[in-house]
Amino acid sequence: MNMFAIIKTGGQQYRVSEGSVIKAERLAGESGDTVNITDVLMLSDGDQVNIGNPTVAGVVVQAEIVKQARTPKVIVFKKTRRHNYRRKRGHRQNVSILKITGIVVG
């Protein structure tokens, strides 16, 4: 049985199945905590597909927070030529690394 779901968290959509690992926008909690994601947009169990309007009712994706981390630094450099204008900024996004432990249909 090849069950998977499309979930929405942090303004982005992810295709997940049991055992998959994703990097999502930072979620509240510590390493080892369990998170329930209720924004399930689509659910497929191999032969039947349920598409939500906007979400599928009664389906919860359970995930474990493996680690709270930060992405590599992105450099933002602005320059205007011949006007001595230079700005250099760096940004690191906070992310949660999640391991999907189960898809519960209720």
Per-residue pLDDT reduced to its tens digit, 55-88: 999 999 999 999 999 999 999 999 999 999 999 9
| Whether pLDDT at 101 is above 90 | yes
Number of structural domains (the chain) is 1
Residue 106: pLDDT band with limits 50, 70, 90: confident
| Whether pLDDT at 1 is above 80 | no
Longest dimension (CA), the chain: 64
**Phi, psi torsion values for 9, nearest 5 degrees:** -150, 135
Domain with 55 in it: 4-105
User: Average of pLDDT values for 50-55?
Assistant: 93
Classify residue 52 as exposed, middle or buried by CB count within 10 Å of its CB (0-12, 13-18, 19+): middle
Distance CA 16, CA 26 (A): 17
Query: What is the chain's mean pLDDT, rounded?
Result: 95
Return the structure tokens found at 97: 């690394």
Give pLDDT, residue 62: 97
- Sign of the CA dihedral running 19, 23, 25, 29: positive
Between 7-16, 46-55, 68-77, the lowest mean confidence (pLDDT) is in: 46-55
One DSSP character per residue, 62-106 reads: EEEEEEEEEPPPEEEEEEETTTTEEEEEEE--EEEEEEEEEEEE-
What's the pTM value of the predicted model, to 2 decimals? 0.84
